[in-house]
Chain A
Amino acid sequence: MLDVFPKQFQSRHDYAREWKARHNREVIGYLCTYAPEEIIYAAGILPVRVLGGHEPQDVAERHIPTMYCPFSRDVLAQGLLGRYDYLDGLVDGFTCVHMRNVFGSWTLNIPLKYHHYIYTPSDVRGARVKPYFAVQLGKFKESLEAFTGKAISDSSLDSAIDVYNRSRRLLRHIYELRKAENPPVTGAECIEMVVSSQVMDKAEHNKLLEAALAELQSRRPDRETGIRLMMVGSEVDDTEFVRMVESLGSTVVIDDHCTGSRYFWNEVAPATDRLLAIASRYMDRPPCPQKDVQDTRFRFEHIARLVKEYNVQGALLVQQKFCTPHEFDIPKLKAFLQEQFGIPSLFLEVDITIPLGQFRTRVEAFLEMLQLQAV
């Protein structure tokens, strides 16, 4: 059953084209998980996250120099290569300069019927931030209404919130199973569930999640758990890399990245003011480092809770090369994990293609050290 998720992800472009033909409705790409998908979904539009292709390319450099993160360049390349030619529009829920660059280049160079930029505040804990973000969401809603020629009703918003909250709840249930001494699901499988949810109609994906949850509740793992790892970092959808890590006597039992728990961890708390409710959800979610900017850091508190609840023994800090937001936090996070929990970490800088052989040696050495520590 779990095989369906990687298949869905790999055939995501075919799926989107087929969905579009089936519903005779638009498909809109979004660039970061701070884009409020619920509103797009409430407009009857399929939101799909625009991701890279993990393939060498030579088309992005004319628009984004190599000093920007390889993920951002890969994403733009996918657009320039026509992989997303079915998109009717593009939305950026601002996180960082790298993805803002992608949005700028995409809109300047790839014809689109619709594009919208949402400035997701960086100071998500600021006193005025939720009402401000709600106003932005209102503008976004209006722009979608103008694009489709149809009003987005409160009941459409409620239904979309329901569907998205259901997805989040199901994924949380599945993640709960990873707390077990022998988790019935691997880290790679979890990433596949999350990324496939980012590129599918959530209502359809929820059915797959329900079936997966039912299966996992009775699944007996046919592998040793080994060292319990946490994976923290920027966008990580390279499951081949995670499978390699998990083939070496370890299991990734929890993650904090935007193709993992950060994407779905908290729900929209329904309220009469739907837009404020959605705004609050995005401001309160486990943050990207770029959204943790005050003098009292709160991102590490969330990571600390995960460490304790999932009984983590070691951390893989996996960061896209040149990912500025994570580069700011990693030295502090490394020290925090070591000093507060005695948890060692291994830092790995990734590109769109990963040198598995080299990484394997480093991960093996790290796991050996942890195994000795465990003894």
Chain B
Amino acid sequence: MVQEAKKLYKTKPLDCWGWAKELRSKHYERIMHAKELGLVLSSGSAHSRVLGAGLENHIHFGGEPYGATLAQFPELATECVEATEARGYARDLCAYMRLYWGSATINKTPWGPFPKPEFVIQSQICDSHSKWHQNSSELMGVPFYTTEIPQFYPAMRPPDKYQVDYAAAQFADMVDWIEKTTKRKWNDQLFADALLRLNRIHVLWARICELNQAVPAPLDIKSMFALYWPSTSGDINEETERFYVTLLDEVRDRVKSGIAALATERSRVLHENQPPWYALWFFREMEKYGCICIGGGYLFFLGGSWELYTDEQGKPAMRIEKTIEERLGRPNTREECMHMLSVLHFGRYRMITSSDAKRAAAVAIARGWKVNGAILMNNRGCEGLSLGIAEARVGLINEGIPTMAYEANMADRREWDEAQVRDRLEAFMESLGLKKLEP
């Protein structure tokens, strides 16, 4: 059954789209040529990239974004995960990690040989992080230092001071280790600049996400996955910040002028968890029904700075945090820098590593972004971010919001059952009262 595709809103491509792509290309270009460019190359998780920012000419090769990128190169990705499995590692381990290890093992990336880092640094926010890079360090024969961000429960409340102090002290120890290991001087002012800039970028991204509350939504999730990349994984520099300032202006203009991401928007859903990176068409498929996906907790929190709270009606709600500089002022000493870093880490990651916060965030987004339904991915490739997904679903159901769950793997396409996911999506769209629109 199809229905006439009546265009309800004006639409036009994003001006900033190309710039987002360019930022990513430039980032990988610099990583691949780090040696010739005289850059200090570290590796570890993407969120650990700020840990090395006190070094002059530093660049960080983040494992997760690389895994997500590699997942889009089918043949190489398969070769990489199989190389890891041939070394005896289980297929259900983190898919980004298996791609990263495999790529290092066979010394191949989509752009040339694997860029061996000078050292590996890590702040653990999920069980897999430290074990991932313990093994990376052994595999590549490079030094490794790990720190950890304590998790707590319930995550809806702020951390205790002793927890923040513990993480800050570990970060300070890590700086000593970096100086000793690389025989380079750490520049506290450089680090403070990067930290404040990264936080401003996270606030800008949150503002952009907030604008998607508008009806019609100015952005669709597929585009947002490209737009959020610099905030979660890219270089922390002036150009990245400028990109987000410009993007915010553009999205504001779209809202003001009623420019939609989807001209036929009739229904809105949220998506929780990472997407299947190799099958982003999934989000275009729902658009054929006039359904726009406006984002979700993973997309909003990973690159954005939010506060989750309970409103006067006793319901979960979200608001954008002030910048850390507005809250704490500029850090002047290393101790203040590390304290600030610790506060920021706790603030962002507790939202995505706890069932109570995951459930609350899903409900808050459903209310704030006015969704008619929710799609949740049980991600076999990431146990860390799938934690609490089922509880988020229960929370949404309790609020009367229709949900659809599907099982997939964000970066290992061998676990993608396209026919089944397509069937589920079609059934879900129909259950929302939507019919496929004429092309």
Could you list which residues of chain A lie within 8 angstroms of chain B, going by C-beta atoms? 61-65, 67-68, 92, 94, 96-98, 100-101, 103-105, 107-109, 117, 119, 121-123, 126-128, 132, 135-136, 139, 289-290, 293-295, 297, 322, 324-325, 327-332, 334-335
Interface-side segment among B129-137, B236-244, B364-372: B129-137
Once the chains bind, are A327 and B354 in contact (CB under 8 Å)?
no
Query: Is the CB of B213 closer than 8 A to any CB of chain A?
Result: no
Tell me the interface secondary structure of chain B in the complex. mixed
- Contact A97 to B127, CB < 8 A, known contacts A135-B162, A334-B88: yes
Query: Is the CB of B384 closer than 8 A to any CB of chain A?
Result: yes
Query: Is the CB of B152 closer than 8 A to any CB of chain A?
Result: yes
Report the Cα distance A68→B378, complex, angstroms: 10
Query: Is the CB of B148 closer than 8 A to any CB of chain A?
Result: yes
Query: Is the CB of B151 closer than 8 A to any CB of chain A?
Result: yes
A-B contact pairs, 6 of them (CB 8 A): A67-B383, A94-B151, A119-B163, A123-B124, A126-B170, A132-B166
- Contact A327 to B407, CB < 8 A, known contacts A100-B387, A108-B391: no
Query: Is the CB of B126 closer than 8 A to any CB of chain A?
Result: yes
Once the chains bind, are A128 and B170 in contact (CB under 8 Å)?
yes
Which residue of chain B lies nearest to A61 when distances are taken between CB atoms in the complex? B390
Residues from chain B with Cβ under 8 Å of A132 in the complex: 162, 166
Once the chains bind, are A289 and B131 in contact (CB under 8 Å)?
yes
| Of A65, A107, A136, the contact of B389 (CB 8 Å cutoff) | A65
Q: How far is the CB of B383 from chain A (nearest CB, A)?
A: 5
Q: How far is the CB of A152 from chain B (nearest CB, A)?
A: 19
Query: Is the CB of B169 closer than 8 A to any CB of chain A?
Result: yes
Which residue of chain B lies nearest to A96 when distances are taken between CB atoms in the complex? B127
Q: How large is the interface on B (under 10, 10 to 19, 20 to 34, 35 or more residues)?
A: 35 or more
- Contact A327 to B355, CB < 8 A, known contacts A103-B153, A128-B166, A293-B130: no
Q: Which of B381-402 contact A (CB under 8 A)?
A: 383-384, 386-391, 394
Bits for B137-167, please: 1 = Cβ < 8 Å to A, else 0: 1100001111110111110000010110010
| Of A94, A293, A334, the contact of B131 (CB 8 Å cutoff) | A293
Once the chains bind, are B127 and A67 in contact (CB under 8 Å)?
no
Q: Give the 8 A-B CB pairs with smallest separation, nearest first.
A: A104-B355, A331-B88, A117-B153, A293-B130, A119-B150, A328-B131, A327-B90, A65-B378
Which residue of chain B lies nearest to A122 when distances are taken between CB atoms in the complex? B148
Query: Is the CB of B180 closer than 8 A to any CB of chain A?
Result: no
Query: Is the CB of B173 closer than 8 A to any CB of chain A?
Result: yes
Residues from chain A with Cβ under 8 Å of B92 in the complex: 67, 322, 324, 327
Report the Cα distance A108→B390, complex, angstroms: 12
Query: Is the CB of B93 closer than 8 A to any CB of chain A?
Result: yes
Which residue of chain A lies nearest to B380 when distances are taken between CB atoms in the complex? A67
Pick the most buried of B137, B148, B380: most chain A CB atoms within 10 A of its CB. Answer: B148
Query: Is the CB of B17 closer than 8 A to any CB of chain A?
Result: no
- Contact A65 to B160, CB < 8 A, known contacts A123-B148, A128-B166, A295-B134: no
Once the chains bind, are B143 and A64 in contact (CB under 8 Å)?
no
Q: How far is the CB of B148 from chain A (nearest CB, A)?
A: 5
- Contact A62 to B394, CB < 8 A, known contacts A293-B131, A294-B134, A325-B127: yes
Query: Is the CB of B197 closer than 8 A to any CB of chain A?
Result: no
Residues from chain B with Cβ under 8 Å of A330 in the complex: 88, 90
Once the chains bind, are A108 and B356 in contact (CB under 8 Å)?
yes
Query: Is the CB of B183 closer than 8 A to any CB of chain A?
Result: no
Q: How far is the CB of A309 from chain B (nearest CB, A)?
A: 27
Query: Is the CB of B359 closer than 8 A to any CB of chain A?
Result: yes
Residues from chain B with Cβ under 8 Å of A136 in the complex: 162
Query: Is the CB of B414 closer than 8 A to any CB of chain A?
Result: no
Once the chains bind, are A68 and B383 in contact (CB under 8 Å)?
yes
Report the Cα distance A42→B134, complex, angstroms: 38
Pick the most buried of B87, B126, B150, B173: most chain A CB atoms within 10 A of its CB. Answer: B150
Once the chains bind, are B135 and A328 in contact (CB under 8 Å)?
yes
- Contact A293 to B146, CB < 8 A, known contacts A68-B383, A122-B130, A327-B93: yes
Once the chains bind, are A324 and B390 in contact (CB under 8 Å)?
no
- Contact A327 to B89, CB < 8 A, known contacts A101-B388, A119-B150, A122-B130: yes
Pick the most buried of B134, B137, B152: most chain A CB atoms within 10 A of its CB. Answer: B134
Report the Cα distance A128→B134, complex, angstroms: 19
Which residue of chain A lies nearest to B153 when distances are taken between CB atoms in the complex? A117
Q: How far is the CB of A80 from chain B (nearest CB, A)?
A: 12
| Of B90, B124, B386, the contact of A122 (CB 8 Å cutoff) | B124
Which residue of chain A lies nearest to B128 when distances are taken between CB atoms in the complex? A324
Which residue of chain A lies nearest to B357 when distances are taken between CB atoms in the complex? A104
Taking A67-B380, A101-B387, A290-B127 as known contacts, 11 extra A-B pairs with beta carbons closer than 8 A to each other, sorted by chain A number, are A97-B387, A100-B354, A119-B163, A123-B146, A293-B134, A294-B144, A324-B128, A325-B131, A327-B93, A331-B87, A332-B138
Residues from chain A with Cβ under 8 Å of B169 in the complex: 128
| Of A94, A128, A135, A139, the contact of B173 (CB 8 Å cutoff) | A128
Residues from chain A with Cβ under 8 Å of B151 in the complex: 94, 100, 117, 119
Pick the most buried of A104, A139, A327, A335: most chain B CB atoms within 10 A of its CB. Answer: A104
Residues from chain B with Cβ under 8 Å of A96 in the complex: 127
Residues from chain B with Cβ under 8 Å of A61 in the complex: 390
Once the chains bind, are B153 and A107 in contact (CB under 8 Å)?
yes
Which residue of chain B lies nearest to A322 when distances are taken between CB atoms in the complex? B92
Residues from chain A with Cβ under 8 Å of B134 in the complex: 293-295, 297, 328
Report the Cα distance A81→B423, complex, angstroms: 33
Q: How far is the CB of B389 from chain A (nearest CB, A)?
A: 7
Q: How far is the CB of B362 from chain A (nearest CB, A)?
A: 13
Residues from chain B with Cβ under 8 Å of A293 in the complex: 124, 130-131, 134, 146, 148
Residues from chain A with Cβ under 8 Å of B126 in the complex: 97
Once the chains bind, are A101 and B355 in contact (CB under 8 Å)?
yes
Residues from chain A with Cβ under 8 Å of B379 in the complex: 67
Residues from chain B with Cβ under 8 Å of A104 in the complex: 153, 354-356, 387-388, 391
| Of A289, A294, A322, the contact of B146 (CB 8 Å cutoff) | A294
Residues from chain B with Cβ under 8 Å of A331 in the complex: 87-89
